[in-house]
Amino acid sequence: MARKELGPHALEVSRAVARMIDGVPRAVVGCSGGPDSLALALGARWAARRTGTTLIAVVVDHQLQEGSAQVAAEAAETVTERGIEARVVTVDIPGGRDGQSFECGPEAAARTARRAALSQVAGADPVLLGHTLDDQAETVLLGLARGSGTASLAGIRPRAGRFWHPLLGVRRATTRAACREWGVTPWQDPQNADPAFLRSRVRRETMPMLERGLGPGIAEALARTASLLQGDEEILDAITGDWLESQGADTGHLPLQPLAAAPTGLSRRVVKAWLAGAGVDASFAHVESVRGLCRSEGGRGVDLPGARVERRGRQLVLVVAAPTR
């Protein structure tokens, strides 16, 4: 019996996955049951047959919506029927459906819990996620709106540690068409149409408005911006690392005079990287306050989330607060 040929959209998805997992012995696929992740899982199965990769699909049930257990079970059943081993992992998120206890918003809390669950199953193996070119464009646009720097505008990296994104060059319309070609019905997350979520508004209102006003190709242009900035980020990160090493900086100490003499752009990156190396997530305002310590009128110290930077002689000293129990 002849093997059924893939449709053009399913083939595009599958080839994108194959390029990324070639030579990878085992990979985990994050699958919510939505069109992007479902297309990713089915494309990964096609690719794995050619690359010899062992796959396991993981469906994370966040328990944030009514009926989430059923949605997760159906997603797992869909990929299992297509020959992919699937597992449902249920996570508990502080705040639950009421969202009252979220410290960083429900989207961020769910993302953190989801990635922790996927990482636990994957171990040392990569985790494939279904972010598309459209997700990349939205990420860049949100970064622009927030006044972010190049690190944020570089968007989603194809390989961000263990999390890999094979579909960053594939449009969302393609993953939906691929699901139709495969004969599967993806789950439609109601939150994607909920205007309470900023990304949902960008997806449904802002991007179409830009397409109408500026013409087609906006998503591709924004995604191309991310790709260009990713290359720049690699160079700038290397320069920053070389500076820190050459000046003898360590986790708790940063030389004051060389920092004061560095160009503004470099000094900002140095402070940001120095703080990040100690696990301190500093905002632009925090970084500028720390840089202000280079001036005599800048004060003697700056309080940061979970830490404090003090000016002591010719050095900046970072004191990280002990974790509370």
* pLDDT tens digits along 198-213: 889 999 999 999 999 9
Q: Which residues lie closer than 8 Å to 255 by C-beta, 6 or more apart?
A: 247, 248, 249, 314, 315, 316
Tell whether residue 36 is among the known ligand binding residues: yes
Does residue 138 share a domain with residue 254? no
Does residue 37 have a known ligand-binding role? yes
Counting residues of the chain whose pLDDT is more than 90, the rounded percentage is: 82
- The reported pLDDT for the residue numbered 297 is 66
Same domain, 33 and 153: yes
Last-in-domain residue among 168, 192, 214: 214
Domain that holds residue 97: 8-214
Say what the pLDDT of residue 175 is: 98
Residue 227 inside a domain? The answer is no
What integer is the mean pLDDT of 153-172?
Answer: 97
User: Does residue 73 belong to any structural domain of this protein?
Assistant: yes
Structure tokens at 156: 């989603």
Q: Which CATH number characterizes residue 277's domain?
A: 1.20.59.20
- pLDDT tens per residue, range 46-93: 999 999 999 999 999 998 888 999 999 999 999 999 999 999 999 988
Give the CATH number for residue 23. Answer: 3.40.50.620
Q: Total structural domains in the chain? A: 2
Ligand-binding site membership of 200 (annotated)? no
Residue 147 and residue 292 in one domain: no
Q: What is the tens place of the pLDDT at every residue in 222-281?
A: 999 999 999 999 999 999 999 999 999 999 999 999 999 999 999 999 999 999 999 999
Q: Is 226 part of a structural domain of the chain? A: no
Is there a binding annotation on residue 32? yes
Question: Is residue 102 very low, low, confident or very high in pLDDT (cuts 50, 70, 90)?
Answer: very low
The whole model's pTM is what?
0.89
CA dihedral 192, 225, 284, 95 (to 10 degrees): 20
Residues 197, 55 share a domain: yes
| Contact in structure between 252 and 317 (CB atoms under 8 Å) | yes
pLDDT at residue 323 tops 90: no
Q: What is the mean pLDDT of the chain?
A: 92
